[in-house]
Amino acid sequence: MTDVTEWDLWVRSTDLDADGIVNNARYLEFFEQGRLEHLARLGVVRRPRPPGAADRSFTIAEVRCRYLAPLRHRETVTVRAWTGRVGERSFALAYELLRRDDGSPVAEGSSAQVWLDVEGHPTPLPPDIREVLVASMGAVAEEDGR
């Protein structure tokens, strides 16, 4: 069973474009919020940062979003995030955005994160981080060597 993090967000007036629907770029921000909540819940991201911790532990290498339906002002959306893949130096997260009132899908996507050393170069995932990410995948854990 895959470990899924869920987080509810309200659509604000500032999320809307000139057509009165949520601007496409905001969906990526919703994914970002899901990513941070998921990684914080797993202990991969810690706020505030522990003393002496690097300013940045990973970078976003790729984000994908498939838009399925528009969102409008004052709707509530549930962001679902989970670990999709764990490699040697990277991991992927998957996302769903669902209308909270009826559970209908609004968007789906993914992001790829690459772990960085203190100089900002790709480096293997620390063993404890890797273990937590793999465990969060449950029975579907796989490795691709990246």
pLDDT at 54: 64
Cβ–Cβ < 8 Å for 3, 9: no
Mean pLDDT score across all residues of the chain: 91
Average pLDDT over residues 121-128: 95
Chain segment 62-90, per-residue pLDDT in tens = 999 999 999 999 999 999 999 999 999 99
DSSP of 91-117? EEEEEEEEETTT--EEEEEEEEEEEB-
pLDDT at 51: 77
Please determine, for residue 35, whether its predicted confidence score (pLDDT) is greater than 90. yes
Query: How far is 85 from 97, CA to CA, in rounded Å?
Result: 19
**Domains by residue range for the chain, with CATH:** 4-140 (3.10.129.10)
pTM (predicted TM-score): 0.88
DSSP of 59-96? EEEEEEEEE-S--BTT-EEEEEEEEEEE-SSEEEEEEE
pLDDT at 142: 46
Binned at pLDDT 50, 70 and 90, residue 46 comes out as confident
Binned at pLDDT 50, 70 and 90, residue 55 comes out as low
Binned at pLDDT 50, 70 and 90, residue 146 comes out as very low
Tell me which amino acid residue 123 is.
Answer: T
